[in-house]
Structure 1
Amino acid sequence: MTSCKPEDNKLMVEVYETSASGNSLTKLENFETTSVRDSSSITLNPEKTFQKITGFGGAFTESSAYLLNQLSKKNRDTIIKAYFSREGANYSLTRTHMNSCDFSLSQYSYTPTEDKELKDFSVKEDMDDLIPMIKEAMATSEDGFKLFASPWTAPPWMKDNKEWVGGKLLPEHYPTWALFFSKYVDAYKAEGIDIWGFTVENEPHGNGNNWESMHFSPEEMTDFVMNHLGPKLETDGHGDKIILGYDQNRAGLKEWVDVMYANEETSKYYDGTAIHWYESTYEVFPEALQYAHSKAPDKYLIETEGCVDSEVPAWKDDKWYWSKEATDWGWDWASEEEKYLHPKYAPVNRYARDIIGCLNNWVDGWVDWNMVLDRQGGPNWFKNWCAAPVIVDPDNDEVYFTPLYYTMAHFSKYIRPGADVIDVTNFNENLQVTAAKNPDGTIAVVVFNEGEEGQEFNLNLNEKSTSMKIDAQSLQTIIITN
């Protein structure tokens, strides 16, 4: 193990780096420096703890699962192991979709026939691709992972507009839709898959009438959860399933949590709040996150979806993922008054900045979107192209692990479920830092230098210290074992 000298006042550390210069979660052999100014110190205060980590991971989508089925067994296994083995990213928190979503091959429902008893409920649409991918991940993961499910929409026959896109759930079908969730738990259990929980509705504000969606106001969702979903799951023996409310962008958090957590009755069946990052992939919205935590300090606050959207991903071009020209939807489409939320900003920077910012503001889980996409950024029935950490070329049976994969692994591999986020005093304004103490006693410190110049800093813990350096455009995870 490369480490500082085992002197009484030296920290024993291992350092792993991903960088624009070419490192990909590479273990560094030379990371020490000398004579660092005290004004550039990072001091860890493990006696002061914040939230407990639930996990990090990505989403099982039909698109990702379908692509895996187009690859050779060797490459399929390589990807699954890269995500779920201890040697890989060791994902611990994952998501999937109930019924179809934009990253499905077509639009479908588990209950296509109008029937309040849902007698024809079947997950047969998931049997070819989605369920096999989840089961292979389960077989590969030694530590296990949590899986939650999200609906994009109820079947059109339950909605006021009778369409896949937009509209609201008809009040007469509130009990029907709650039954749907319960039947989903049973159907997946029959396939050997335990569902940890749900978000009530993906993006209840809608998505500009583009792909599958269903609208809820905070009051409507809380009514559904309080009087239908929560009681139904409880009655059917699924009361242990986690229910996360909201599930859209952080800018709307205050309005939602004020309703969700208005009192003991409204809060009873909500186990936490789900958020997305698309309002801005640059601004973390710390005030909104802090407010959401203050309203429900003992409940989950989980980032359930984020991706580099509105982009056809670059193929085997690591530099693109470090380039600010690979920007997000808002650069082209946001209104002028919201342009400031969408500066040109590199994909790696977005992920690293957001995860660090979330961890420093009470978020306990962070889930990426598609795990695998093709060179077009699909397949996607709506042609809503996006990037993913792993890109594949099924025609030529090739796999490309982008820098986003390694960025995710800096957190998922080294900050484990049950870790406590700890206090950090950071005097270097050029560095973004977060830290957590794992259940095994190790401390993981993640340091991000998005700047064009290398940085030096002292890392301090109790009475021990070491002087370190991080190159320009680099992300480091530092593991402290003593």
Structure 2
Amino acid sequence: MLILIITLNGCVVEQKLEVEVYETSATGHKLDSITAFDTDGETSQIRILPEQKFQTITGFGGSFTEASAHLLNKMGKENREKIINAYFGEDGAMYSLTRTHMNSCDFSVSNYSYAPVEGDTELNNFSIDEDRDDIIPFIKEAMAASKDGFKILASPWTAPPWMKDNKDWMGGKLLPEYYDTWALFFSKYIDAYALEGIDIWGFTVENEPLGNDSNWESMHFSPEEMTDFVQHYLGPKLEQDGHNVKVLGYDQNREHLQEWVDEMFRTEASSKYFDGTAIHWYASTFEVFPEALQYAHSKAPDKYLIQSEACVDADIPKWKDDNWYWSKEATDWGWDWAPEDQKHLHPKYAPVNRYARDIIGCLNNWVDGWIDWNMVLNKQGGPNWFENWCVAPVIVDEENDEVYFTPIYYTMAHFSKFIRPGAIRIGFEKTDDDLLVTTAENPDGSIAVVVFNEGESKKQFELVLGEATQGVSINPKAIQTVIIKPTETN
């Protein structure tokens, strides 16, 4: 960490940290550099403890959906490039961990499969042509914009209906006689994308295996069924075909984590082909479920624990209204549909607060990667063939070629831009319980300290590293990233 040592007659008088501070706030800051700080009033302390080391960070980012790619195709060249650079360029959020869907999902324009021919168990007719006009160009342009590159996690919402017991896009289970074919599907997908120059880093076995009331593309697995499929079919097939790809199990809400990781990692044989666990945040608008995350880590401490999907659901985006994203007005599916005993988990919330609180809470409880859902949606919160409207960090008016970067975009960038892949989360102590904090040491030696103040008043804190200090103030309703440069004595 860059420490300025001021001396007088050879004696150390003061040691100060040299920091860069970036803030996004309800008062209008948007990842702005802050250089002047208020020092009046009560001051708390955040002490950084780099000797305490936790998980290695895999990355942060969003998802390449057909909906987002479809909208980008409708934008003018200038705004298309602006959006892609904002997510992946050096001057943007520098996303490092992303997700996409295999076959269609709710955020597709229509239902489709790469293997539409019934009875084609050898997948001779397998084709990713459906992606060539939208998702593939989107990914390639993102690759071109990204200096450091990014990982791609691919997830199926469902196998083609002809492989399922109910012969439907929605619900049902994979028939055992097609386990081999479905494993082959994953292998074919890697090969097809590789031919496009796109490497797939990992898979989740199934998006939301508990189902979603047959609303859109889905397929059910129990923990035992998924573990059996991975242990005896998917894992061996990927290995046989020479694919060095990560496989993440589960891929749904955190409140059921224990039963899934217990089964996945029950024995050495059951866990052999699982590289980790994927989770979603939809079980609550405020609860992080720290005990569940800690349990999952303790069950498989050397494997990934990645938040693979999150979004503001059940709301239509507010267009060019920053204040809404800082106000507790948003609702989610649980506001209307959660069982009575779970209603308390789904109060109204401020979207920025939900993102900041969840990412910080996840990081502080062993999660190593955090992926948002759609990168781009329109003013309706689509397109979505099921009309399952949601919010994205970037909203566009495709008819008038306009772009709106919501406060959620800047909130995501506070993590993705400054906590880089390979960073190690480190310890800290704080004296103000109202400030949410997480800290990480990057591969280049810099330390990122993310601080969130969701209160209505400005806060002052002293940042302490060893014997060096720096006073910082954070505005009300604000998120800050403080960067302490690598060690260098002056």
**TM-score per shorter chain, which class?**
over 0.9
Deviation at 1:36, TM superposition (A): 4.6
AA aligned to 2:220 is H
Does the 8 Å contact 1:153/1:214 carry over to 2? Answer: yes
Do residues 27 (structure 1) and 38 (structure 2) align? Answer: no
Counterpart of 1:404? Answer: 408
Identity of aligned residues (%): 70
1:12 and 2:18 aligned: yes
- Map residues 50-449 of structure 1 onto 2, 5 A cutoff: 50-114=54-118, 115-238=120-243, 240-449=244-453
> 1:42·1:460 contact (CA, 8 Å) conserved in 2?
yes
Following superposition, the deviation at residue 467 of structure 1 comes to: 2.0
Task: State the Cα distance separating 1:32 from its structure 2 match.
Answer: 4.9
Q: Is the 8 A contact 2:41 2:460 kept in 1?
A: no
**Residue by residue, what CA displacement relative to the aligned partner does 1:360-418 show, whole Å, maximum 9, x if unpaired?**
00000000000000000000000000000000001000000000000000000000000
| CA shift digits 1:31-84 (9 cap, x unpaired) | 2525754xx211110011100000000000000000000000000000000000
Q: Distance in 2 between matches of 1:199 and 1:86?
A: 28
SS in 1 for 2:255: helix
After superposition, what is the alpha-carbon deviation per residue over 1:129-154, rounded to whole angstroms, capped at 9, x for unaligned?
Answer: 01000000011101000001000000
Paired residues of 2:3 and 2:468 also in contact (CA < 8 A): no
Task: Indicate which of 459, 470, 473 corresponds to 1:469.
Answer: 473
In the alignment, what sits opposite 2:11? none
Q: Deviations over 1:100-151 (max 9, x none)?
A: 0000000000000021101100000000001000000011101000001000
Asked if the contact 1:312–1:376 (Cα under 8 Å) also holds between the matched residues in 2, the reply is yes
Pairwise CA RMSD of aligned residues?
Answer: 1.2
TM-score (norm 1): 0.97
Structure 1 residues 90, 129: CA separation in 2 closer, same or farther (over 3 Å shift)? same
Offset, 1:427: 1.4
Distance 2:250 2:25 in 1: 35
Q: Distance in 2 between matches of 1:192 and 1:460?
A: 46
Q: Structure 1 residue 6: deviation in Å?
A: 6.1
Q: Distance in 2 between matches of 1:169 and 1:335?
A: 28
What do residues 248-295 of structure 1 show as CA deviations (whole Å, max 9, x unaligned)? 000000000000000100000000000000001210000000000000
Please tell me whether the aligned partners of residues 23 and 30 of structure 2 are also in contact (alpha carbons under 8 angstroms). Answer: yes
Aligned length: 477
SS of equivalent residue, structure 1 residue 144: coil
Q: Counterparts of 1:395 and 1:191 in 2: how far apart (Å)?
A: 30
Structure 2 equivalent of residue 48 of structure 1 = 52
CA distance in 2, matches of 1:20, 1:284: 23
| Amino acid in the other structure paired with 2:15 | N
Residue 9 of structure 1 aligns to a residue whose secondary structure is strand
Matching residue of 2:459: 455
| Unaligned residue ranges in structure 1 (runs of 5+) | none
Q: Residue 304 of structure 1: SS of its match in structure 2?
A: strand
Give the superposition deviation at 1:335.
2.2
Question: Offset at 1:465?
Answer: 1.1
Name whichever structure is richer in strand by fraction.
Answer: 2
> Does the residue aligned with 1:64 lie in a helix, a strand or coil?
helix
The one-letter amino acid paired with 1:176 is T
8 Å contact kept, 1:393–1:399: yes
Q: Distance in 1 between matches of 2:172 and 2:305?
A: 27
